[in-house]
């Protein structure tokens, strides 16, 4: 799952959090676009990201952010067709607001656990699903008030060695807001040798986003 390395941060049915972003897409889970098994059953990686000064138009002032992330993936093969990918993720976001901002927070912690079940029904079809458990809050926040949960289901169709198409549907509760339901189309297309177009969820540093990328 090369794409798994790009899309792993699963746990995420949340790429950001309701306290960090109002975008529904920033709440969606991250799962493999190309669900091929990795040769190694364990993966561990980390990342760092920096967001430069950003103006706050409505409240005034600005802020910048440092972010660190770690991800552990442990795969269990029940059979050749049925596998379980356990994904554990931790994110730490340090915000620095200018003194003129009326609404400020300092440190945001995010823990996510998502056991992703993969079932290969045939050489072309793979089905996947996972519950998602998440805790997001400032340092010292009540864990019971920081919890959000949900799930995702989807499929991936391998049309040829160079093209796969899929669809995910994710649902997730939000802190002090209504639950969200988001469909996500997935595409992996090797249009020429050594060049691949991927669309869906991808990772950039310690954060995730919805969009496309071309890899070489």
Give the mean pLDDT of 20-49. 59
In angstroms, what CA-CA distances link 102 with 17, 59, 98?
Answer: 20, 7, 9
Give the mean pLDDT of 28-54. 67
Please say if the pLDDT value at position 16 is more than 60: no
Please say if the pLDDT value at position 57 is more than 60: yes
CATH number at residue 132: 2.40.160
Give the mean pLDDT of 20-48. 58
Q: Which two tokens stand for residue 154?
A: 């989807």
| Domains: count for the chain | 1
Q: What is the spatial distance between Cα 107 and Cα 174, in angstroms, rounded to a whole number?
A: 19
Domain with 115 in it: 2-215
Residues 69-120: tens digit of each pLDDT: 888 889 999 999 999 989 888 888 888 877 665 666 778 888 889 898 999 9
The three-class DSSP label of residue 14 is coil
Q: pTM, whole model, 2 decimals?
A: 0.70
Give the Cβ contact number of residue 53 at 10 Å.
10
Residues 161-182: tens digit of each pLDDT: 889 999 988 888 887 788 888 8
């Amino acid at each position: 799952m090369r794409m798994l390395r790009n899309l792993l941060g699963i746990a995420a049915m949340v790429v950001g959090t309701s306290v960090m972003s109002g975008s529904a897409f920033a709440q969606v889970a991250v799962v493999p676009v190309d669900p091929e098994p990795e040769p190694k059953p364990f993966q561990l990686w980390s990342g760092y990201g920096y967001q430069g000064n950003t103006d706050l138009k409505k409240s005034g002032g600005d802020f910048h952010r440092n972010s660190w992330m770690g991800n552990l993936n442990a795969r269990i093969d029940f059979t050749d067709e049925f596998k379980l990918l356990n994904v554990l993720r931790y994110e730490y976001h340090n915000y620095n607001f200018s003194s003129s901002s009326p609404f400020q927070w300092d440190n945001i912690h995010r823990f996510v656990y998502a056991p992703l079940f993969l079932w290969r029904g045939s050489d072309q079809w793979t089905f996947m699903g996972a519950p998602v458990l998440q805790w997001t809050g400032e340092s010292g926040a009540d864990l019971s008030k920081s919890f959000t949960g949900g799930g995702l289901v989807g499929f991936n169709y391998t049309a040829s060695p160079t093209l796969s198409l899929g669809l995910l549907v994710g649902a997730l509760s939000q802190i002090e807001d209504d639950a969200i339901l988001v469909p996500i189309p997935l595409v992996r297309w090797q249009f020429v040798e050594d060049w691949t177009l991927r669309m869906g969820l991808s990772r950039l540093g310690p954060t995730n986003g919805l969009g496309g990328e071309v890899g070489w």
